[in-house]
């Protein structure tokens, strides 16, 4: 494995490109617009500067890592030499199926095709390719340069050899990979999302306020972040769409999203990315202020 192509240069794609480049791999970073790619390179450079300031990366290592990243707005050009492709584009089934059809067509026949999807079936994605045994889930956590877990998801047809290659590769990045099977939500989100949903139900039913719910889970369960703050960080729209995948996939009403979550997403309050969810966020401030909308409830 030498050449890695990353599709999508957003939150996750730039982190994945960062980690591979820092570990000596050649990275082709692909997105639909040059401006997204420029923004992504600036983010990677800024994040590496932070490592330099902390003394975990030298300025020369940073320059070498940045020099290993090339950018492409054409998928065909960006994947033609890939040993491994990691798709980290927007979480949308039809978009991902379309990308995997193209990857199957344009990437070398022996390339492994991985997806960073949070919730879409690996087996379904693999089914649109002629190489389902070479398709696998590689679910990195946000922020990728910091979080050690990689949830490695075997689709129904993924081969042992491909799984072992991806497990070993993840360890080469100093990550801790865990192998799981392909069922809705995999392991991480199957456990996390019902907890977040239950926290939102506790607020909705008036059991406690936002800060109280988060404090109980932080101090009582030693979670570094309360579930409502974490939901804001992940994105409330993302939480909602994963709960719907769990609800549809298992046909079990216990995964039904809380009506308050549905309302917040429909009203455009999606958490950190829109400036407000359960908390209100102001650029440049690290203070956690409860959204004033909840004082009326
Ligand atoms: N954000 C998280 O915390 C998180 C964590 C784990 C996994 N994921 C998963 O990672 C994937 C990416 O999520 P994100 O948060 O980085 O999203 P994002 O919106 O920040 O970035 C997605 C990027 O994909 C690009 N894109 C869209 N269509 C494309 C195409 N046809 N070709 C190339 N690029 C295309 C977009 O322009 C955008 O830059 C999703 O599948 C998501 O479920 C996200």
Instruction: Give domain limits for the chain.
Output: 3-181, 189-295
Atom number, ligand 1, closest to the C-alpha of residue 13: 16
DSSP letter for each residue of 12-46: HHHHHHHHHHHTT-EEEEE-S-HHHHHHHHHHHHH
Considering the candidates 5, 118, 121, 241, report the single residue annotated as catalytic. 118
How far apart CA 223 and CA 221 sit, in angstroms, is 6
Atom number, ligand 1, closest to the C-alpha of residue 238: 43
- Which CATH number is associated with domain 3-181? 3.40.50.720
How far apart CA 139 and CA 240 sit, in angstroms, is 18
Q: Which of 89-93, 98-102, 203-207 has the lowest average pLDDT? A: 89-93
What was the pLDDT predicted at 98? 98
Active site residue 212: no
Q: Are 289 and 230 in contact (CB under 8 A)?
A: no
pTM: 0.93
How far apart CA 180 and CA 121 sit, in angstroms, is 13
Tell whether domain 189-295 is in CATH 1.20.1260.10: no
The residue nearest atom 18 of ligand 1, judged by CA position, is 10
Maximum Cα interatomic distance, the chain, rounded to a whole number of Å = 59
Ligand 1: list residues with CB < 6 Å. Answer: 7-13, 30-32, 36, 75, 88-91, 95, 99, 116-118, 139, 142, 234
Q: Are 104 and 96 in contact (CB under 8 A)?
A: no
Q: 178 has which bridge partners? A: 151
What was the pLDDT predicted at 23? 98
Active site residue 118: yes
What was the pLDDT predicted at 296? 60
DSSP letter for each residue of 243-254: HHHHHHHH--GG
Report how far ligand 1's centroid is from the alpha carbon of 153 (Å).
18
Looking up tokens 């009506």, which residue turns up?
259
Considering the candidates 40, 119, 170, 189, report the single residue annotated as catalytic. 189
Q: How far is C-alpha 84 from the geometric centre of its chain's CA atoms?
A: 18
The residue nearest atom 40 of ligand 1, judged by CA position, is 91
What was the pLDDT predicted at 297? 54
Neighbours of 204 (CB within 10 A): 14
Active site residue 151: yes
Range 87-98 average pLDDT:
95
Q: Is 135 helix (H, G, I), strand (E, B) or coil?
A: strand
How far apart CA 195 and CA 199 sit, in angstroms, is 6
Q: Are 89 and 8 in contact (CB under 8 A)?
A: yes
Active site residue 121: no
Report how far ligand 1's centroid is from the alpha carbon of 117 (Å).
8
Is 90 exceeded by the pLDDT of residue 283?
no
Atom number, ligand 1, closest to the C-alpha of residue 14: 16
């Amino acid at each position: 494995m030498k050449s890695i192509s990353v599709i999508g240069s957003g939150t996750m794609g730039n982190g994945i490109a960062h980690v591979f480049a820092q570990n000596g791999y050649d990275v082709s970073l692909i997105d639909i617009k040059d401006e997204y790619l420029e923004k992504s390179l600036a983010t990677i450079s800024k994040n590496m500067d932070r490592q330099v300031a902390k003394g975990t990366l030298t300025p020369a290592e940073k320059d070498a890592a940045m020099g290993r990243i090339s950018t492409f707005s054409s998928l065909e050009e960006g994947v033609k030499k890939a040993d491994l492709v990691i798709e980290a584009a927007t979480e949308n089934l039809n978009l991902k199926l379309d990308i995997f059809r193209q990857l199957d067509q344009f990437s070398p026949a022996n390339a492994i095709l991985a997806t960073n999807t949070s919730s879409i079936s690996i087996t379904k994605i693999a089914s649109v390719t002629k190489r389902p045994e070479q398709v696998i889930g590689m679910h990195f956590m946000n922020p990728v340069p910091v979080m050690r877990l990689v949830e490695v998801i075997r689709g129904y047809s993924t081969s042992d050899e491909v799984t072992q290659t991806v497990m070993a590769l993840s360890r080469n990045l100093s990550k801790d990979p865990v192998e799981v099977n392909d069922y809705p939500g995999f392991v991480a989100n199957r456990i996390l999302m019902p907890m977040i949903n239950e926290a939102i139900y506790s607020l909705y039913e008036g059991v406690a306020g936002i800060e109280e719910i988060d404090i109980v889970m932080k101090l009582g369960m030693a979670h570094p972040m309360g579930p409502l703050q974490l939901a804001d960080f992940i994105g409330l729209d993302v939480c909602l769409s994963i709960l719907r995948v769990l609800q549809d996939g298992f046909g079990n009403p216990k995964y039904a999203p809380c009506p308050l979550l549905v309302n917040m997403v429909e009203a455009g309050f999606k958490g950190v990315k829109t400036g407000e969810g359960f908390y209100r966020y102001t650029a440049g401030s690290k203070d956690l202020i409860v959204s004033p909308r909840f004082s009326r409830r």
